[in-house]
Structures are given as structure tokens and as C-alpha cells.
Amino acid sequence: MIINKKVFKSTEIFTESQSIRIQPTPEFDGITVEVGEGGEKYGNMLYLDEMELNSLIHEMKSMMEYIKL
């Protein structure tokens, strides 16, 4: 049995109308991203493993560059 000795860490980003929480899964095999809007509690959760996260980051950066053209 492998015991994870990492501290559970959670990060929150607050915008004018939204809040975003990013944290590892309990198994430390990926991350979860939760979004809240307008003071509401966090809603649906998105699970991403490392490969999916890298793809999402790439596509988000690509889209941001596209809209700046």
C-alpha cells in the first residue's frame, strides 16, 4: 500500500462574478476544477488527469491567442 505524504492543497481564484476552486483528487491521480457563480456554492466538478489537463491548457491558450487577433 502506497501512502501519499503530500499535503492536500486547494487554490481558489475569484473574479468579479465567479469563483474557481482547483484541488487534487483524494487519490492524487488528477485534479478537480469547480466553478461557482454569483455567490453560489461550487457547482459541477471537472476531473482531469495530466494528459487531459495539458490538452485543456493548450486549447485555452490557443483560443485566447485566436480572439486577440
CA-to-CA distance for 32 and 17, rounded, in angstroms?
20
Q: Whole-model pTM?
A: 0.75
Strand partners, 14: 19
* C-alpha cell, 45: 466538478
For residue 2, is it within any domain? no
Structural domain boundaries enclosing 44:
11-68
Counted domains in the chain: 1
Q: Report helix, strand or coil for 59.
A: helix
Residue 53: which pLDDT band, with cuts at 50, 70 and 90? very high
Residue 15 lies in a domain: yes
Q: What is the pLDDT of residue 15?
A: 87
Q: What is residue 38's predicted lDDT score, i.e. its pLDDT?
A: 76
Asked whether residue 53 is domain-assigned, the answer is yes
- Nearest one of 26, 24, 65, 64 to 48, comparing CA atoms: 24
Residue 34 lies in a domain: yes
3 pLDDT higher than 80: no
Q: Is residue 43 part of a domain?
A: yes
